[in-house]
Amino acid sequence: MIYLNNAATTYPKPACVQKALDACLQSPPPAQFRSTADFGREDIFAACRKNLGQLLGIADTDRIFFTSGATEAMNTVIGGLPLEGRQVLTTQTEHNSVLRPLMNLPGFAGQNRVIVAPCGKYGRVDPDALESCITGKTGALIVNHCSNVTGMVQDMPRIAALA
């Protein structure tokens, strides 16, 4: 089983997640700059980046970052985007980890800088509707690949081509 969001609010956690977290909590911190580091083995973070790089086809594994979950990851990304004078295009079915930080960005509230594209009855994003919302001021396009609510998988190759 591959379970990539152990910080999710889902209950109950799979047994493999409980076992892995218990093993982690019973071990010394794996940071390479701590006195408890075991220099006889590969850094667990480097090993994980290497494996994820192979799984996801990412050659430069230094571009893989770890966060406590999707909310922290999206807040970090959104907060780091160069959006001065730009708009952000997203969809009405995005996770709160996207919508809340966008709606609370300084200078964004009430400024029509967050464009929310509608979705179909079952949560499908219409790439044509997205395309009609893209302007010269669009600085970012944020679309959830698979909805945590509906399970709808979006046409990411087409949406990526628009971006």
CATH number given to 71-162? 3.40.640.10
What's the rounded Cα separation, in Å, for the pair 40 and 26? Answer: 19
Per-residue model confidence as pLDDT tens digits over 104-160: 887 776 677 899 998 998 999 999 999 999 999 999 999 999 887 788 999 999 999
- The one-letter amino acid code at 51 reads N
Q: What is the pLDDT of residue 95?
A: 87
Per-residue model confidence as pLDDT tens digits over 68-91: 778 888 889 898 888 888 999 999
The domain ranges of the chain are: 15-63, 71-162
What's the rounded Cα separation, in Å, for the pair 158 and 126? Answer: 10
What's the rounded Cα separation, in Å, for the pair 38 and 100? Answer: 41
> Two tokens at 79?
């907060």
Per-residue model confidence as pLDDT tens digits over 39-68: 555 677 888 899 999 999 999 999 898 887
Tokens 């956690």: give the residue: 13
Neighbours of 64 (CB within 10 A): 15
12: pLDDT strictly greater than 90: no
